[in-house]
Amino acid sequence: MNTAIVILNYNGEKLLQRFLPGVIQYSPHARVIVADNASTDNSVAMLQKDFPQANLIKLDRNYGFCGGYNHALSQVEAKYYVLLNSDVEVTEGWLQPMITLLDQHPEVAAVQPKILSHHQKDHFEYAGAGGGYLDALGYPFCRGRLFNYTEKDEGQYNDICPVFWASGACLLIRSEVFHQFNGLDEDFFAHMEEIDLCWKIHRSGKQVMYCGASTVYHVGGGTLSQSSPVKTYYNFRNGLNLLIHHLPGWRLALTLPLRISLDYLAAVKFLAEGNASHAGSVLKAHFHVVTSLLKTLRKRNRLKQQLPYSMHTIYRGSAVIIYYLKGRKRINVKS
């Protein structure tokens, strides 16, 4: 089989029991693999007993999201990989439109489907929605999701179009491209690692696409909920490191001071709302960025030697201004 669907699991026995049957049923021409990140629950025994048709990769310890996928996919041979979260419900015919897109367009390296909320199935889901973008200050947003606001699905994103990043909740990628960049950057550990990978794809001259002909439903918050201070820490830390990795020098010098100022405004907002732990996470994230700056700059220099800078797919406006100052809940990415 040319396509391997790889689900990374850590103590997700109940999620696998709930969603793995659908993945197996609706993916008849793909190999389904569960990579277990050294779970301490009954996941492995349950998989061996109830899902013998799914291949099992047992990792020797918990490598986190990025490391878990890197270790697992180093053992998988296929033309295409699907990185699929364990809390995703797939639908009949979900996979073929994306495979056809890659088959017909060699310039496309990765693609994501329409991602709707499992809790509210007529609305888009936070992690990916109708395809991801970055604004001028490096804040990620999606068609169908701007900050914490998600749109109702009314067919407005049933198209196929280029995007800046595809969601790691359901990511179809050419295996040769995944290994070309040594997989996911393990320094990210979790959150925004797929944006980093997609930025490398753009810098290599290939495209990332959204395919609205394919639909999945994502529970979300399976690893860290939106209200978790740990998630806040990773988002702010990884967001800054993403810019340091990829922005050209002149653009980084202009962008970083503005981005840092807005991050501290966010910390003040957290404090005003009584979320001191989240404010502390912002400060902790910035402290980590400073203390690891030399390592990050070395990585930036290695990338610069391998790949040219690419800015043409970044949205030129500010999601912060549009959402918080103008009160708009949707961005026209073509403007």
Residue-level pLDDT, tens digit, the chain, 335 residues? 799 999 999 999 999 999 999 999 999 999 999 999 999 999 999 999 999 999 999 999 999 999 999 999 999 999 999 999 999 999 999 999 999 999 999 999 999 999 999 999 999 999 999 999 999 999 999 999 999 899 999 999 999 999 999 999 999 999 999 999 999 999 998 889 999 999 999 999 999 999 999 999 999 864 555 578 999 999 999 999 999 999 999 999 999 999 999 999 999 999 999 999 999 999 999 999 999 999 999 999 999 999 998 777 788 899 989 998 899 999 988 64
| Structure token digits, residue 151 | 């749109």
Q: What is the DSSP string of 174-225?
A: EHHHHHHTTSS-TTT-SSSHHHHHHHHHHHTT-EEEEEEEEEEEE---SSS-
Please, what is the end-to-end C-alpha distance for the chain in angstroms?
41
Say how many CA atoms lie within 13 Å of 234 toward its Cβ. 18
pLDDT of residue 128: 94
Q: How far is CA 9 from the centre of its chain?
A: 16
Q: What is the DSSP string of 84-100?
A: E-TTEEE-TT-SHHHHH
Cα(50)–Cα(54) distance, integer angstroms: 9
Domain residue ranges in the chain: 229-325
Asked whether the whole model's pTM tops 0.85, one would answer yes
